[in-house]
């Protein structure tokens, strides 16, 4: 997404003097300008960026996930961006552990670190901790997998909507692993997955300041449409064609890839696939906003309000230092 940003003010606080350490999280829906804004903040506060976008973890998925460009990666050091292969097994619990371990190292050099992304579950894992859910029942998992094999994604979606309508509204409904796990927990415990996720926040040895990017719905949707068109002109079809032998992998069951797979299968025209990507991306953005807007600790800004964000962060740093 291209935005016109206000020039950043002169730094009035040395970020290395912040005590204790500060994690700044920057969230927002897809196509809201998180990458560009995070880079501007990281440059101002002389720090690094941790990615919390689970779609951008995979090195093979660049165009369709709007991953940071080589130029952006060279501008500011990024962690957890393109660090995995689509063949790697990865989960949110492992992400939480790896980020906390890395932060322990980074805070020895930087008193302020920025984490940005649109994957609310991964953000919450770092900021709040992972809920201790029951271990999967083998027989139950087999039954849920059989539902997926016989009825596909729609079968999982229908069951989760009946079992836990609250979680159904915020989960990534195109991610079968998330759907299956939620269904398993509902059936195993006799209660909703969403109720079990409301746990005591785990203490962290650093301060957390949460920023959010949002913009008028029409502007956001226009960004989504223009970015989708740019992905197509930038080679998305060729990128997806090269991944055809691996289409069964969960990492590829995501917006922008599954629609192009359908085009390559002859199930729709390219124009229809592009419109489907735009529609599914808009729906994904709405679910992201639903997730993030539940968190009252997030202070929201328009992506062009970089100067205001910096001033706000510096004001919060002063509060931390005077506690």
Tell me if 55 sits within 8 A of 80, measured CB to CB.
Answer: no
Cα–Cα dist 82/51, whole Å: 9
Q: Percent of the chain scored above 70 by pLDDT?
A: 93
Residue 5 in any domain: the answer is no
Asked if residue 70 has a cis previous peptide bond (ω within 30° of 0), the answer is no
The phi, psi pair for 250, rounded to 5°, reads -60, -35
Write the CATH number for 124. Answer: 3.40.50.300
Residue 277 in any domain: the answer is no
Cα–Cα dist 217/305, whole Å: 17
The 10s digit of each residue's pLDDT in 24-55 is: 999 999 999 999 999 999 999 999 999 999 99
Q: Clarify whether residues 218 and 173 are in a common domain.
A: no
The 10s digit of each residue's pLDDT in 150-204 is: 999 999 999 999 999 999 998 888 889 889 999 998 988 888 888 877 567 889 9
Residue 299 in any domain: the answer is yes
Cβ neighbours, 10 Å, residue 73: 16
Q: What is the pLDDT of residue 250?
A: 81
Expressed as residue numbers, the domain containing 175 is 138-196
Q: Clarify whether residues 161 and 91 are in a common domain.
A: no
Instruction: Tell me how many domains the chain contains.
Output: 2
Write the Ramachandran bin of 15: left for phi over 0, alpha for psi from -120 to 50, otherwise beta. Answer: alpha
Q: Clarify whether residues 34 and 155 are in a common domain.
A: no
DSSP labels, 211-261: EEE---HHHHHHHHHHHHHHHHHTTHHHHHHTTGGGTTSGGGSSTTTHHHH
Residue 122 in any domain: the answer is yes
Q: What is the pLDDT of residue 288?
A: 95
Describe the crossing of helices 270-292 and 120-128 by its angle, rounded to 10 degrees: 30
Q: The whole model's pTM is what?
A: 0.81
Give the single-character DSSP code of 116.
E
**DSSP 3-state of 115:** strand
Residue 283 in any domain: the answer is no
The phi, psi pair for 232, rounded to 5°, reads -65, -50
Mark the ranges of the chain whose per-residue pLDDT is less than 50: 1-11
Residue 65 in any domain: the answer is yes
Cα–Cα dist 11/95, whole Å: 32
β-strand partners of 213: 301
Nearest to 224, CA basis, from 258, 174, 274 = 274
Q: Clarify whether residues 191 and 209 are in a common domain.
A: no
Write the CATH number for 150. Answer: 1.10.20.140
Q: Clarify whether residues 148 and 293 are in a common domain.
A: no
**Which tokens in the block code for residue 28?**
């927002």
Cα–Cα dist 227/221, whole Å: 10
């Amino acid at each position: 997404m291209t935005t016109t940003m206000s020039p950043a003010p002169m730094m009035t606080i040395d970020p290395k003097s912040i005590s204790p350490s500060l994690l700044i999280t920057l969230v927002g829906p897809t196509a809201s300008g998180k990458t560009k804004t995070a880079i501007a903040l990281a440059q101002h506060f002389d720090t690094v960026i941790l990615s919390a976008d689970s779609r951008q973890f995979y090195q093979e998925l660049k165009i369709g996930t709007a991953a940071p460009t080589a130029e952006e990666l060279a501008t500011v050091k990024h962690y957890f961006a393109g660090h995995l292969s689509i063949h790697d097994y990865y989960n949110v619990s492992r992400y939480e552990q790896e980020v906390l371990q890395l932060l322990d190292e980074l805070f020895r050099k930087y008193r302020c670190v920025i984490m940005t992304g649109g994957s609310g579950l991964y953000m919450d894992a770092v900021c709040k901790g992972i809920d201790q859910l029951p271990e999967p029942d083998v027989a139950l998992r087999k039954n849920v997998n059989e539902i997926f094999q016989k009825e596909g994604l729609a079968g999982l979606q229908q069951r989760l909507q009946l079992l836990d309508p609250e979680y159904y509204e915020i989960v990534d409904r195109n991610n079968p692993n998330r759907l299956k796990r939620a269904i398993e927990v509902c059936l195993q415990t006799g209660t909703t997955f969403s109720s079990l996720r409301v746990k005591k926040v785990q203490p962290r040895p650093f301060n957390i300041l949460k920023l959010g990017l949002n913009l008028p719905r029409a502007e956001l949707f226009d960004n989504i449409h223009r970015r989708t068109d740019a992905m197509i002109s930038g080679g998305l079809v060729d990128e997806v064609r090269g991944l055809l032998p691996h289409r069964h992998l969960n990492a590829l069951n995501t917006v922008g890839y599954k629609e192009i797979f359908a085009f390559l299968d002859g199930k729709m025209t390219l124009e229809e696939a592009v419109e489907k990507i735009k529609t599914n991306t808009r729906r994904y953005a709405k679910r992201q906003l639903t997730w993030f807007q539940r968190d009252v600790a997030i202070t929201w800004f328009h992506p062009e309000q970089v100067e205001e964000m910096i001033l706000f962060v510096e004001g919060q740093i002063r509060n931390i230092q005077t506690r």
